[in-house]
Amino acid sequence: MSEADGLRQRRPLRPQVVTDDNGQAPEAKDGSSFSGRVFRVTFLMLAVSLTVPLLGAMMLLESPIDPQPLSFKEPPLLLGVLHPNTKLRQAERLFENQLIGPESIAHIGDVMFTGTADGRVVKLENGEIETIARFGSGPCSEVKLLLSSETPVEGKKMSFVNDLTVTQDGRKIYFTDSSSKWQRRDYLLLVMEGTDDGRLLEYDTVTREVKVLLDQLRFPNGVQLSPAEDFVLVAETTMARIRRVYVSGLMKGGADLFVENMPGFPDNIRPSSSGGYWVGMSTIRPNPGFSMLDFLSERPWIKRMIFKLFSQETLMKFVPRYSLVLELSDSGAFRRSLHDPDGLVATYISEVHEHDGYLYLGSFRSPFLCRLSLQSV
């Protein structure tokens, strides 16, 4: 072997470079590109198949509500007497799964009565439930009709007769008609639309006359006569406030705000033993935090879209189960608050009824009552 041949054998081999023109690489690259195109086309077709019906529904379906923009102040900070706690979790549940939405409560002596969402008035005594009256489409039992909802009052029908309070002599009954358009089962539609056709009315049991004391209210709900019977408080739920209407004395016929910008949306109002008032909050306006109802109040177009796509029951699943009870002073100041931040024990509180050292908590949805010892809070 010559010297030249030896040098050629010792010369290092040049690395081979595989290009698109060689080997199996083109097949791999072409396959990957094809798979990517298939994925993109499939994803695009799926997106279109979902979006087109959704847009069609939003454009063609009619919304059941016609909301107008509402304006709220920033909710009060949950500080001081409003600071979150877990005091409501000390409550015990009564008659669990034996009642349907026992919203309001009354005592005659030690016997308790409540109305339920299935149209009954029941007596609760010694752990037993007895139906004493029944309302609804069928015949009513043990019921005396004072005023028919079919009778127009000042030209408007009563569609959602709600809460009432009675003078000590039984002469006057003050009650709320939450809407002439919506019924009880439509409460979320009423709140979300912000309808202002609610009224506070007075019924005279002697003359059988009924008159309007205050109108253009947005979901007037709970109502309570003052101890001196000189004014009536009415919760205007949609506006997160309580109005005061004077029914006797020098200011008779006048009205003003008793509490405004509350940390939640008030339901029923009942007297407290301290001379103030208990208020159940149907849901809260967290601050710090995010209040969905406050956010939507100035965006009616979102409300319309939501109710085109979802039912009331579906939307209720997204309502926070935060339970809040407020005690107000006789001047409307926040005196104390009781909370159950996750609604673990007390849920959807509609009323706080004080009796013999206990708070009885009604609910417009829960299948039970709650009882809380005042000594524990």
- pLDDT, tens digit, 9 for 90 and up, residues 175-216: 999 999 999 999 999 999 999 999 999 999 999 999 999 999
At residue 48, does pLDDT exceed 70?
no
pLDDT score at 26: 47
Of residues 58 and 150, which shows the higher confidence score?
A: 150
Task: Say if 222 falls within a structural domain.
Answer: yes
Q: Which amino acid is at 61?
A: L
CB-count exposure of residue 97 (10 Å: 0-12, 13-18, 19+):
exposed
The span from the CA of 263 to the CA of 284, in Å, is 6
At residue 56, does pLDDT exceed 80?
no
Q: What is the overall mean pLDDT for the chain?
A: 88
Structure-block tokens of residue 189: 């539609």
The span from the CA of 179 to the CA of 293, in Å, is 19
Of residues 145 and 369, which shows the higher confidence score?
A: 369
Cα radius of gyration rounded to whole Å, the chain: 32
Q: What residue ranges in the chain does DSSP mark as E strands?
A: 92-94, 104-108, 111-115, 120-125, 128-134, 161-166, 172-177, 198-204, 210-217, 220-225, 231-236, 241-246, 255-259, 264-271, 277-284, 323-328, 334-340, 349-355, 358-363, 369-373
At residue 319, does pLDDT exceed 90?
no
Cβ neighbours for 301, distance < 8 A, ≥ 6 positions apart: none
Task: Say if 48 falls within a structural domain.
Answer: no
At residue 28, does pLDDT exceed 60?
no
In sequence order, the β-bridge partners of residue 165 are 174
Q: What digits encode the pLDDT tens for the residues 321-338?
A: 899 999 999 999 999 999
pLDDT score at 372: 98
Number of domains in the chain: 1
Q: Which amino acid is at 89?
A: R
The span from the CA of 13 to the CA of 9, in Å, is 9
**Owning domain of residue 301:** 80-100+159-373
CATH number at residue 210: 2.120.10.30
The overall pTM is greater than 0.85:
no
Task: Say if 109 falls within a structural domain.
Answer: no
At residue 249, does pLDDT exceed 70?
yes
* Ramachandran quadrant class, 86 (left: phi over 0; alpha: psi -120 to 50; beta: rest): alpha
pLDDT score at 27: 47
Task: Say if 29 falls within a structural domain.
Answer: no
pLDDT score at 50: 59
Task: Say if 56 falls within a structural domain.
Answer: no
At residue 18, does pLDDT exceed 50?
no
Residue ranges of alpha helices (H) inside the chain are: 3-10, 25-60, 187-193, 292-297, 300-309, 312-316
Structure-block tokens of residue 11: 């010369």
Task: Say if 51 falls within a structural domain.
Answer: no
Task: Say if 289 falls within a structural domain.
Answer: yes
pLDDT score at 21: 47
Task: Say if 34 falls within a structural domain.
Answer: no
Contact criterion met (CB below 8 Å) for 166 and 154 = no
